[in-house]
Structure 1
Amino acid sequence: MSDPSHPSDPLLPGDGTVPASGRRRRKRRGLPGCLAVLVALAIVAGGLYFAVTRGVAWVEDQFAEPDDFAGPGRGEVAFEVVEGDSSAAICRGLKADGVVASVQACIDAAAANPDSPGIQVGFYPLKKEMASEDAIDVLVDPANIITNAVTIPEGLNTDQVVEILAESTDFRAGAFERVLDQPDRIGLPEYAGGNPEGYLFPSTYSFGPNAKPLDMVQAMVTRWRQAADEAGLEDAAAELGYTPHELMTVASLVEAEGRGDDMPKVARVIYNRVENPDNGQTNGLLQIDAAVNYALGKEPIAVLSQDQIDSVADSPYNTYTQPGLPPGPIEAPGDAAIQAAANPAEGSWLYYVTVDLSTGETKFTDSYDEFLSFKSELQAYCANESDRC
């Protein structure tokens, strides 16, 4: 027991008893807690600095000028605009080809040019590292489109077409001939029998700088298909009682023999002779000089000699010795000739003679005697204009 006359001494802190004052003493806060707070504040401050810095950079980016080359550029780039390209698509292509420095600078230049919505399909001559404004200025002018324009006149045979293609492009004749030996690839109809004669449509073609012989020949056959469809060639053939290939043969003969409004009449003469071989006058012989010229392999001659006709007597293209149509076209007919073959005029004519080669005046008849008088007119014309006959 404790001595009641000597109060007990207060116990030292930490013995678990409450001191005489009745209050528990607070523990003093140590250094590690303060350090944690300081670290947290530092992290918050760092995050705010990073966010502010990024935000300022983003705002600056929004108002900064996009990258653009000063120009005028270097080297050569043949840039293609394809059907359906938007300004953004064009600018992405220009950036990918190294023409412009940034898509945005290009888009801005296009937006500033009122002619940019009218940029046409085709290839354009540009350079590497051009100013965007300069590149757009080139694209908005259709006169800058790179084309290799090749004109194929009506009435040429396949060899003549190949000759023009070789002279007008960077490819040799052999390259086109190899393509023509692949009828399925160039799109010939099955009824052409693999022979392109007559199916290389005469027109003016604009070939891009990357066009190859296959592309060029395909374009010509595709244009023929368009003309054939517009004339209703296949339906007309069925209605007239011929194959489409036979109608193309007629069209080629019409191209060689007729002009303008006379073409449907020439077509009718051909049909009348083929369909009435027992008329007592023609015996089914077309007697068309252009077909004999094809057999001779020569340029057209207005008046053939008997020796010339006899020299190719066995040829299926000799319409003086072989009745009916030749086995195929003799040259490439144009729109008018195909239309005439599909829509011949009404008439009983069996003969025609072009009596004036300078004007193309042609006379038609179903009388042999009248035909002989027309022929005399032509002979008189040739006597005075021998250079035309």
Structure 2
Amino acid sequence: MTESVLPEPGRRRSRKRRSGCLPVMLVALLFGAIVAWFARGAISDVKDMFAGPEDYAGPGAGAVTVVIDPGQSIRSMGDRLEGLDVVASSDAFVDAAGKNAKSQSIQAATYQMKKQMKAADAVAFLADPKNAGAGNTVTVPEGARVGQIVDAIEKKTDFTEKRTTDLLANPASIGLPAEAAGNPEGYLYPATYEINDRTTPKSLLSQMVAQTAAAEKDLGITAGARKAWA
């Protein structure tokens, strides 16, 4: 009678144990890869968080005309400079202005600046009164009356008072809307306007009226609402 040889008890169990470990190891490796992927993204986000806003290295190149309006905020200046590619980001300009006490004395004027400047350099440039083009701009202050605006135009340009008042007396020539009923009061937008060789009394007044219309459109002010508000 032949004796049957039984396998050793431990062998089959050890094979099963080894084959059962493989899926677990694969899952662990996959999980580790996913964690590493997300960790890399998180580290990158943290680095970006502490790196500060985007900024150019400077010193910049080319030329661009920048108009700073009366009462314009630092944030608004930054937005305008970013739009003109003078600075890489408005945030960088705001941060640089916060570190420069002279930024609070930036004048409303026209400036000839470079593109892609370092934000700190842009702030320093604007804060230097020597860089303000005082001779080639007309500033309409907030709340100025028509008579005061006419005086400012006469002082800053070669335009005569008579020529300016004649245009104001002919509202259609400068684009004054019908609801103004011929009265330009409140329709000459407060801002700083650049004067160059192509500027005429008509184009200057028309620009002021157009600025008012654009601002009211942005704010959603209708003709009826303007009358009620006035």
Q: TM-score range by the shorter chain?
A: 0.5 to 0.7
Distance in 1, matches of 2:86 and 2:105, equals 20
* Structure 2 SS opposite 1:29: helix
Name the one with the larger helix percent. 2
Verify: 1:184 aligned to 2:172, yes or no. Answer: yes
Verify: 1:119 aligned to 2:106, yes or no. Answer: yes
Cα distance change on mapping 1:180 and 1:82 into 2, 3 Å: closer
Alignment map for 1:106-255 (pairs within 5 Å): 106-146=93-133, 147-148=136-137, 149-150=156-157, 157-158=162-163, 183-186=171-174, 187=176, 207-209=193-195, 213-217=201-205
Indicate conservation of the 8 Å contact 2:67/2:194, yes or no: no
After superposition, what is the alpha-carbon deviation per residue over 1:356-375, rounded to whole angstroms, capped at 9, x for unaligned?
xxxxxxxxxxxxxxxxxxxx
Distance in 1, matches of 2:54 and 2:181, equals 56
Cα distance change on mapping 1:83 and 1:34 into 2, 3 Å: farther
Corresponding position of 1:18: none
Which of 45, 49, 65 is the aligned partner of 2:32?
45
1:130 Cα shift?
1.7
RMSD: 4.3
Distance in 2, matches of 1:191 and 1:99, equals 40
Distance in 2, matches of 1:139 and 1:56, equals 37
Q: Number of paired residues?
A: 168
- Unmatched segments (≥5 aa) in structure 1: 1-11, 13-24, 163-176, 193-205, 222-389
Which of 69, 81, 84 is the aligned partner of 2:68?
81
Alignment map for 1:231-380 (pairs within 5 Å): none
Distance in 1, matches of 2:182 and 2:22, equals 94
Indicate conservation of the 8 Å contact 1:78/1:123, yes or no: yes
Q: Percent identity?
A: 32
Q: Greater relative contact order: 1 or 2 (C-alpha under 8 angstroms, separation 6 or more)?
A: 2
1:55 Cα shift?
3.1
TM-score by length of 1: 0.34
After superposition, what is the alpha-carbon deviation per residue over 1:139-161, rounded to whole angstroms, capped at 9, x for unaligned?
2245533334215566xx54xx7
Cα distance change on mapping 1:137 and 1:40 into 2, 3 Å: same
- Unmatched segments (≥5 aa) in structure 2: 1-5, 7-11, 138-155, 184-191, 210-230
Indicate conservation of the 8 Å contact 1:81/1:122, yes or no: yes
Structure (1 or 2) with the larger CA radius of gyration: 1
TM-score by length of 2: 0.53
Indicate conservation of the 8 Å contact 1:123/1:209, yes or no: no
Higher deviation after alignment, 109-118 or 49-58:
49-58
Verify: 1:63 aligned to 2:50, yes or no. Answer: yes
Distance in 1, matches of 2:208 and 2:88, equals 40
Distance in 2, matches of 1:51 and 1:181, equals 69
Distance in 2, matches of 1:102 and 1:220, equals 29
Verify: 1:54 aligned to 2:54, yes or no. Answer: no
Which of 77, 89, 94 is the aligned partner of 2:81?
94
* Structure 2 SS opposite 1:75: strand
